[in-house]
Structure 1
Amino acid sequence: MNIKNKNSIGMFDITRGMLMIAVVLGHSITAYVKYWEPQFTMHWWYCFLILFKPVIYGVIPMFFMMSGYGFRKKTISKNLKDNARYLLKPYVITAAVVTLACIIENTWKHQSVKDALWYKTVPFLLGLCPGENWLAGHYVGSIGPIWFLVVLALAGFILNLVFRLEPEWMRAVCIIVAVAWCTRLPFISLIPFCIIQALCCCGYMYIGYLLRTHDLLYESLGKKTIIILVILAFSIMIPGNIEVSQNVWALGMLDYVASAITGFLLLRLCMLLNAERFKSKVTRALRTIGRYSLYILCVHTMEYLAFPWTKVQSLVSGHVVLGIVITFIMRCLIIAVGSRLLKRGLERRRRKKK
């Protein structure tokens, strides 16, 4: 199979579909199991979480590598227009829905709408993640899962600027220096427009670009190479810890290297499910989810921030597994309906403009 047949529009849809399910499931689990808190680390089953560390390390890098795989250098004006058209509009719609839900909820409860707007809306105006801290005398929250959209837009813009450097080694040095600096920074809760995360994820996008230009996604690596990469990644993952959305890198650049290796290997593994190899109802469903991952991300953020999940948790208090299952199913239903409505609304608006 030649490279022209392998690289195609929608080639990552199945992978994106699997990752979106993993993200929603992960958020449903962490609503009940705070695996990073001391009381959970004392359980005997905590040692089994090491089996899930490759997912924790690899999911976010995979998303950005897939985005970088199709990267093309653009003019600055073209880059800004594309970001405004494809990323800014969904972000604004998500912020508007969360704000409206916030106003309705607090008006109904006769609580301070002003404080609620500071907590739910101001983070969107400033692009704050992780947030959850005091700002100008008010407590502000986070933009939630849609931080990915902010980082994708900014990281793509930064990478586009970097690609004005010649030769290639200057680009690589520039990105490596930026990543090395960002991964050594202390935890900062109020990061405007996720600039630090964007600099880090710019590196993942650059790796994705290299995967395409050097045909590394399909080229055979050999068993020895794969074994060495797996051992190297696990030797760092076991003592390390990362949270890309919050710019947490316990081992600094070493953690970044482990996440890049893990993301690369998982991406190669997921490509085995390419529709050219397997065709079934499951792969078709995953492809559909992946194709509409942008809508799913927006609706997931809406329900993540606006839906009263704490009430659901109180109803199933003491039944962790049941709570996770109920939360996950409810989220899937909300996302399915919401994504369909959002898709229809945006398509109608496009048709009217034509």
Structure 2
Amino acid sequence: MKIFRNINFPITTSIGMFDLLKGIAMLLIVFGHNRSIFPTMKLDIITRYTNEGAFRYIPYVYEASIFGRLCFAVIGAVVVSLMPALLILSGYTVRKRSVSKCFSLEYKELLKPYLWATIATVVFNFIFHFCFFRYIPGALQESAKVLGGMVLGFSQNVQLGKITLFANGPIWFVLALFWALVIFNILLNMMDEEKIKYYALGLSFIGWLLSYVKYTPFCLSQGLIGVLYVYMGYYTRKSGILTSEHSDKLIVKYTLFVIIPNIILTFFGMLTEMADNVYSLGPVTYIENGLLGIGVLYVFLRINKTNNGKITNALRYLGRYSFYFMCIHTVEMIAFPWYLVAGKFVKYQLLGFVSVYIVRIILIFLMLKVLIRIIELYNRIKIRKTIG
């Protein structure tokens, strides 16, 4: 129990206390998407329609010892819990507002940037496609597929007859978060607070059922499941779970009923992959992943208090602007044909994977700096006009 005691102490809340975790999550999101363009680096082969184990086909892991695969499962469980953890974080900062005010606020903070990211993605997709293939009709056709998928909010590629609509990429999270926050605020306004947990659980169940519907637009399935995660965040703030010290008995229970089950689920490939609407054991997996996400937040808050080096501060910077980071990542991921670059490393997959990953992180970081400067300049001009 010593390892738990070292991180089991009360802390006070502070501005930016979750930035470190969000920064690490952003790097891992790019890491996960980068591996998709390198076939032999693919870490999981699992869908809601198959029973293939997530670790069965991993290079160097399949032939590893049980202990080696178990260690990989521990890491995998933490990584899988990060997306639920980000939704839980959003619930942690929720404040009750009128329905109209909440909708207006979330429209401004989430939907408007989503629309701007959609425009940027379509424009740059056309530009890059034309530059690489020199064929305007083809560039228009590909850009139309991107536009259709993003406007309709499909988190996966959709085939409508002969028409293909492309997935909206990492920014699916923004649409899901919009629905989760708006719906949860409606619950706060209309329901007895003691009963909200039952409504949140019921809505998440409906969201899971919708994951089996072939065409569910606007990421509504993920949004309904996100309502449960937002409630988890709201509850943890009200109960002080993340800032308090907990008894050994509670830690043992959490280990037995949350940590160990998550490791077992991950070991056998039973994952939650919200972007792909994959919930291997339905409510079991997404609830367990959410509960583990709370534990991950608890640990990272303590790490955040004790680490202030250059690397951790750089990660905090990415976390502070994680929303912009995700928008930029969407643009570069969908608009730029990274698969052509990956094709140059057919014989050197690991080298290509690392090289492209580093380039993408540097590119996103530079674009993030530019975007922040533009936003700051715009805000200054707006303030001057208001004063004038």
TM-score by length of 1: 0.91
Query: After superposition, where does 1:81-96 map in structure 2 within 5 Å?
Result: 81-96=104-119
- Percent identical among aligned pairs is 27
Query: After superposition, where does 1:193-212 map in structure 2 within 5 Å?
Result: 193-212=218-237
Mapped to 2, the partners of 1:133 and 1:205 lie a distance apart of 28
Query: After superposition, where does 1:59-138 map in structure 2 within 5 Å?
Result: 59-108=82-131, 109-110=134-135, 111-130=137-156, 132-135=157-160, 137-138=162-163
Shift in Å at residue 185 of structure 1? 4.4
| Alignment deviations for residues 259-278 of structure 1 (CA, whole Å, 9 cap, x no partner) | 01221111111111224x33
The partner residue of 1:183 within 191, 194, 208 is 208
- Tell me which amino acid in the other structure corresponds to 1:332: I
Does 2:53 match 1:24? no
Mapped to 2, the partners of 1:199 and 1:296 lie a distance apart of 24
Does 2:255 match 1:227? yes
Mapped to 1, the partners of 2:211 and 2:227 lie a distance apart of 19
Mapped to 2, the partners of 1:99 and 1:114 lie a distance apart of 9
Mapped to 2, the partners of 1:204 and 1:169 lie a distance apart of 16
- Aligned partner of 2:18 in structure 1 is 12
Shift in Å at residue 235 of structure 1? 3.5
Mapped to 1, the partners of 2:245 and 2:332 lie a distance apart of 42
Query: After superposition, where does 1:119-268 map in structure 2 within 5 Å?
Result: 119-130=145-156, 132-135=157-160, 137-185=162-210, 187-221=212-246, 222=248, 223-228=251-256, 229-239=258-268, 240-268=270-298
Higher deviation after alignment, 336-345 or 232-241: 232-241
Mapped to 2, the partners of 1:291 and 1:92 lie a distance apart of 21
- Paired residue secondary structure (1:282): helix
- Tell me which amino acid in the other structure corresponds to 1:117: S
- Aligned partner of 1:41 in structure 2 is 56
Does 2:312 match 1:283? yes
Mapped to 2, the partners of 1:186 and 1:352 lie a distance apart of 45
- Aligned partner of 2:4 in structure 1 is none
- Paired residue secondary structure (1:224): helix
Mapped to 2, the partners of 1:105 and 1:237 lie a distance apart of 38
- Paired residue secondary structure (1:134): strand
The answer on whether the counterparts of 1:184 and 1:253 sit within 8 Å (CA) in structure 2 is no
- Paired residue secondary structure (2:347): coil
Shift in Å at residue 116 of structure 1? 1.3
Structure 2 alignment gaps of length 5 or more: 1-8, 46-51, 384-388
| Alignment deviations for residues 283-341 of structure 1 (CA, whole Å, 9 cap, x no partner) | 22121111111111111111111112111111111222111111111111110111111
Structure 1 alignment gaps of length 5 or more: none
Mapped to 2, the partners of 1:56 and 1:140 lie a distance apart of 29
TM-score by length of 2: 0.84
The answer on whether the counterparts of 2:184 and 2:231 sit within 8 Å (CA) in structure 1 is yes
- Paired residue secondary structure (1:139): strand
- Paired residue secondary structure (1:164): helix
The answer on whether the counterparts of 1:187 and 1:248 sit within 8 Å (CA) in structure 2 is no
Shift in Å at residue 58 of structure 1? 0.4
Q: Per the alignment, do residues 285 and 6 of structure 1 end up closer, same or farther by CA in structure 2, a change over 3 Å counting?
A: same
The answer on whether the counterparts of 1:237 and 1:255 sit within 8 Å (CA) in structure 2 is no
